[in-house]
Amino acid sequence: MHRHERHARHAPGGIPLSRIITAAVPAHGHVGPLLAISADLVARGHEVVFLGGARFAGAAEKAGVRFVALPVEADFDDRDLDARFPGRSEVPAGPERIAFDVKHVFTEPIPAQYGALEKLLAEFPAEAVIADAFFQGALALALSRPREERPVVVCIGVAPLVFQSVDTAPFGLALAPLPGEAGRARNRALNEEMNRRAEPLQRYAEEVFAGLGVKLPEGPRGNAMVTVPDEFLQLTVPGFEYPRSDAPAAIRMIGALPSVVGNEHLLPAWWRELDGSRPVVVVTQGTLANADLGDLVAPAVTALADRDVLVIAATARKDGPEALTALLGELPGNVRAAGYVPFDLLLPHADVLVSNGGYGGVHTALRYGVPLVVAGASEDKPEVAARVQWSGAGLDLRTGRPEPADVARAVDEVLADGRFRECARALGAELAEHRPFDTIAELVESLGR
């Protein structure tokens, strides 16, 4: 019997059980979705091992998932990428920073990721590998041998889709689609220029994969992230992703993962003020790019100090309230600062979310029909911000460090113009039509049929 042939193991209801490896690059926004998927599959009776960064061992244990650490060559602390990757801080944000990250953060670790997968498969013969789309050791596994001789490889899109298309500008430019032939002509020219500039990076990636004995398919590297896996599941809905007439059928948009809300949260004393007596504006820089609250949280708090709104500054830092107070001297009377606060409890009370554009946080807002003002400059955040404005669900300030006056104008506009909330609610209804955990589980459970 081949090592990946299924043993006859079934849950009490007769559903075939699967052995599954889940994997993610060691960054919070990538690990969170994969651990949520892992926990759901474990709850359904499947045997799951999560392969990830050492600092997430505790989170995996809390999720009830067996944990295996990545080798040090593939591990890093996403809270301080500049320290782990010398020279990164000197690269301007935007396409140049994205190119740096593609090479050093996402391509250099591929051999170590692939080696870790192979080592784990030798003692845990999984039927499926479910990986964050940026964990590209999974692509090497998919290319390494015929489908019948390896696990099914499923990649999860945890950031805006990078597939290059005649209908879109290249990823990283944060340009919304233009209609008609003029738009396609623009995109062709921009894509050609981007591919020309990216040729050294493309050759480098091909060499890395060749060193593992596999060959990347022809075409842009970002397209291989979608076309190489057996399944590609994007955590969004069509209303929030640019249409691509040339996209492969392998891309399935399955909705956003719901957050898990426990009962361990002690709500702050100001929670009773969320009574609908005045508009609520939530401000956040997410869980990654929040080292300097002067980027967005402080300007937004300053901007809204004289408005008849309740401002919740969700800093996602234990020392966040103190750090914000130190920046501003004192907090305006209409501001309530918090460290960690569950968005699934808070956002149903919100009228606007001012965000730096984290993919998961934006989708959480949309699930509750909350319109947005977005100001993000790092990672994929400009692309997320551009989609917020394109979808009609909010405004993109096109900077990561806006002036208070610009934040004030944008919040005033979003509060005053009901079309933003209408669009956000429409996206919320579209998201509600999807059951991503069920979709993933049905895919896994179909392996034995």
* Domains of the chain as residue ranges with CATH: 19-255+434-448 (3.40.50.2000), 269-432 (3.40.50.2000)
| CA–CA dist 103, 162 (Å, integer) | 15
Q: Per-residue pLDDT averaged across 266-273, rounded?
A: 89
Q: Which of 147-151, 199-203, 398-402, 407-411 is the most confident on average?
A: 407-411
Q: Per-residue pLDDT averaged across 369-398, rounded?
A: 95
Quick one: pLDDT at residue 16?
Answer: 52
pLDDT tens digits, 42-89: 999 999 999 999 999 999 999 899 999 999 999 998 888 888 888 888
Confidence of residue 5 (pLDDT cuts 50, 70, 90): very low
Q: Per DSSP, which regions of 174-263 are E strands?
A: 231-234, 251-253
| CA–CA dist 425, 413 (Å, integer) | 17
DSSP label at 10?
A: B
For residue 96, is pLDDT > 50? Answer: yes
User: Is residue 393 classed as helix, strand or coil in its secondary structure?
Assistant: coil
Q: How many CA atoms lie within 13 Å of 345's alpha carbon, on the beta-carbon side? A: 15
Q: What is the mean pLDDT of the chain?
A: 90
For residue 235, is pLDDT > 90? Answer: yes
Q: Per-residue pLDDT averaged across 355-370, rounded?
A: 94
* C-alpha dist (Å) from residue 12 to 44, 261, 433: 11, 28, 29
Exposed (0-12), middle (13-18) or buried (19+): which is 144, by Cβ within 10 Å? middle
Helices 28-43 and 359-367: crossing angle, nearest 10°?
Answer: 60
Exposed e or buried b for every residue in 19-32, given b needs 16+ CB within 10 A?
A: bbbbbbbbbbbbbb
For residue 152, is pLDDT > 70? Answer: yes
